[in-house]
Amino acid sequence: MPEQIEHIEGPDGPIETFTVWPDDGMPHPPVILYMDAPGIREELYEFCRRIAGEGYYVMLPDMYYRLGRLRFPTPIPDDATRAQVFEAMNSLTNALVMKDTQALLDFLDTNINAVFGKAGCIGYCMSGRYVVSAAGRFPDRFGAAASLYGVGIVTDKEDSPHFLAPRIKAELYFGFAETDAWVPDNVIPELERALTENRVPYALDIWPGTEHGFCFPERAVYKEGAAEAVWKTVFGLFARRLPQE
């Protein structure tokens, strides 16, 4: 499959973006993969290749571009590196990432390898909030969004993504871990209430025997059975909402 690094003009500079798509000369529905806190790495490139293999034009933007070209080792080796990761993660806001998302969508509008139409998105950990925000901020552009053990989806702040439920037109999927210290007990009930009251089509799973990070093969908490089931669910969502023709 063709792969290319694009430097997409963002609101605060070029956004280095890994792209990959099927090698058949046809345009394909676009999918944006929003990275997790450790950032850009080969593991995420492999996720992109897997999605592209199902028939999609896939984009992986470096969301830390405002801080330079950060690359963290994984697994995270020590507390000092972990502190750097958290500092980078906390530099982002919903507003900043939505500005970047607009730049990515503008790029897609002129890309011959991407179908002009509904896009999909998928996010892990810190980016659960961003895929929900994208579905709410750009309801006419996103047809599908998947959040895996996403954090920050329900907060007490004015920009909490779950408040965007009245605007969402996409179908959503949430895959939570059974044990996750980053997801308070109130999150899932409040999220489901907001989605149900606003008639947002969604599915939500709490995967038994899993911990935060269970989808990543490089993590000690990786659970292959649950991770593969998640892929099957996500690809079913994309097939429904992002048709190839």
Domain ranges of the chain: 3-241
The pLDDT tens digits of the residues spanning 56-85 come to 999 999 999 999 999 998 888 899 999 999
Q: 150-157, long-range: CB within 8 Å, 24+ apart, which pairs?
A: 150/123, 150/124, 150/125, 150/126, 150/174, 150/176, 151/125, 151/126, 151/182, 151/183, 152/126, 152/128, 153/128, 153/129, 153/187, 153/191, 154/186, 154/187, 154/190, 154/191, 154/194
Whole-model pTM: value is 0.96
**pLDDT confidence of residue 77:** 86
At 185-205, the pLDDT tens digits run 999 999 999 999 999 999 999
pLDDT of residue 240: 95
Looking at domain 3-241, its CATH superfamily turns out to be: Alpha/Beta hydrolase fold, catalytic domain (3.40.50.1820)
Tell me the average pLDDT across 212-216. Answer: 96
Q: What is the number of residues in the chain?
A: 245
Q: Please, which pLDDT band fits residue 245 given cuts at 50, 70 and 90?
A: low
pLDDT band of residue 117 (cuts 50, 70, 90) is: confident
